[in-house]
Amino acid sequence: MSYSAVLKKLTYTGLPLLAASFVVHSTEVDETVVVTATQSETPWLTTAASIDRVNVENTLPSMKIDAGDALAGVAGIQADSRYNYAQDTRLVVRGFGSRAAFGVRGLQLNVDGIPLSMPDGQAQTSSIFLDSIDSLEVLRGPLATLYGNSGGGVVEWFSRKPTETALEWGGQFSENNTQRYNVNAQWATDNKQLQVLASDFQTDGPRRHNSAERQQQAVRWYHQWDDQNRFIIRYDNNDAPLLQDPSALTPQDWRYDPTQTVQRAVDFNTRKDIHHRQGSFSWFHERDNGEGLLSLWQGDRDIEQFLPFAGDGDTSSGAVIDVSRQFEGAHARWRQRGVNWSATLGAQIERQQDHRFGFVNNSGEKGELRRDEFNWIENASAYLRFQWQLSEDWSATGGVRYSDINYEVKDYFTELDNSDDSGSSDFSETTAAISLTWQFLPTSATYLSLGQGFETPTLTELAYRNEGSGLNRELGPSTNDQWEWGIKHQLDNDWRLHFAFFGIESEDEILVDQSNDGRTTYR
């Protein structure tokens, strides 16, 4: 059970956004949470941040199609489902992510510690195999800036490790010929667990030209090698060969008939095809005075999307988007523990390569080439985080992270006007956060947190200009300053009370400039 009452004062003149939230939680909450910003297990009461842990089994029943279903009722986060399977669920945390035309921007998404977010800050929830999720944590506030680029908030998903050997299967059915079948095969011993999952989903949708198909498979291997070492190997395959896009209706058209479809969507056969594959390896090492992690991951993502216009102008980039993406990364950290302190030193490197084509949309068929370019992005960062128990009642948390992000675009299409739209951009930013907590009673604490963050444009946002083709080099990173003051109280084993008051001030915010027929430009 979760109740929230939120009082907000919004300003539109560049001043901070202020809000106060009153939240009460129940249903046998776990008093210890894994604070993703500090990479350590910390009692909820003395965590200097707004953080919620959601057990999926306590959420409302669903077909596990939309990842936003599990986030309902979490104060400070908004999950927007367009009920259009070609447009992924949008997540907004205290305003971060609200600019996204689709998918997730400005937030860090992880699954079992492996980034779901790309190096340029974009992410999507549709590739999460929701059948395997046991719980999730949502972190808001200044401590999230320690994740570097696009650290406006953190949503961490945790998979359910098998505890017994079993075979489960089932099916779900709903209106509009919506059906989903799933199977879960798992094998478990004292120190080894294997899980294989698969699902098949299809629907005709509530509107014309609204059909969708999606198949998912996943493999999980857990191995407790000895008392100090354990390994996790994951592989996910998400194939959505058909995601029809009926396009958005105007308020007037929606009131007249919410089931109708924009005619241009039918004329140009708007749709999307996505195939996402990702594998990862994680090694956890624990000692009496410290613990370490080494993670490696690699993935591929193929996208083909038909937009509701022709895109046949001389300077147009086309209206059929064809992207082949490869991405990989590595993350290493060590946390050293002392008598009343701990410090974490870590480094992370991520790379992304997009081969992007654009074609004319000939009434739903791929026409002439209008774009051919290769995009590179590399995000290298190093960070230091600390926790210090100053006294029995006082503690401090903080850290600093340096990020170096490089974009490069090579244009291979110069046939029409002999213009070369190749270019590059480099961003080097430092993020920092610090907090102080006072536990003035055994069941009560108050804290103050400060943080500075930044957010670069994504490759998708850099991809288009209002006039002509090529990289939108006028876009740069936005920066933000955050503060948060809060009071927490543990009423008993089942009830918690949290009051938070915070301010966020951002500069050079990346905004939508124009959005026409599915093509969006930013400024």
All structural domains of the chain, each given as residue ranges with its CATH number in brackets, are: 2-522 (2.40.170.20)
pLDDT number for residue 230: 96
pLDDT number for residue 35: 57
pLDDT number for residue 306: 95
pLDDT number for residue 39: 60
162 CB-near residues (< 8 Å, 6+ apart): 186, 187, 188, 193, 194, 195, 220, 222
User: CA 376 → CA 44, 352, 354, distances in Å?
Assistant: 40, 6, 7
Q: Going residue by residue through the chain, which has 523 residues, state the pLDDT in tens, using 9 for 90 and above.
A: 333 333 333 333 333 444 444 444 443 445 555 555 456 677 889 999 999 888 888 888 888 888 888 888 788 888 887 778 888 888 999 989 888 777 788 899 999 999 999 888 888 888 899 888 999 999 999 999 999 888 889 999 999 999 999 999 999 999 999 999 999 999 999 999 999 999 999 999 899 999 999 999 999 999 999 999 999 999 999 999 999 999 888 899 999 998 899 999 999 999 999 999 999 999 999 998 999 999 999 999 999 999 999 988 877 788 999 999 999 999 999 999 999 999 999 999 999 999 999 999 999 999 999 889 899 999 999 999 999 999 999 999 999 999 999 988 888 887 666 667 777 888 899 999 999 999 999 999 999 999 999 998 888 787 777 776 667 778 888 999 999 999 999 987 778 899 999 999 999 988 888 876 556 788 8
pLDDT number for residue 366: 94
pLDDT number for residue 56: 86
Phi and psi at residue 26, to the nearest 5°: -145, -160
Kind and range of the H or E element at 253? helix 251-256
State whether residue 364 is helix, strand or coil.
coil
Q: Using DSSP, how many helices (H) and how many strands (E) does the chain show? A: 3, 28
pLDDT number for residue 235: 96
pLDDT number for residue 17: 41
pLDDT number for residue 491: 86
The helix, strand and coil proportions of the chain, stated in percent and rounded to the nearest 5, come to 5, 60, 35
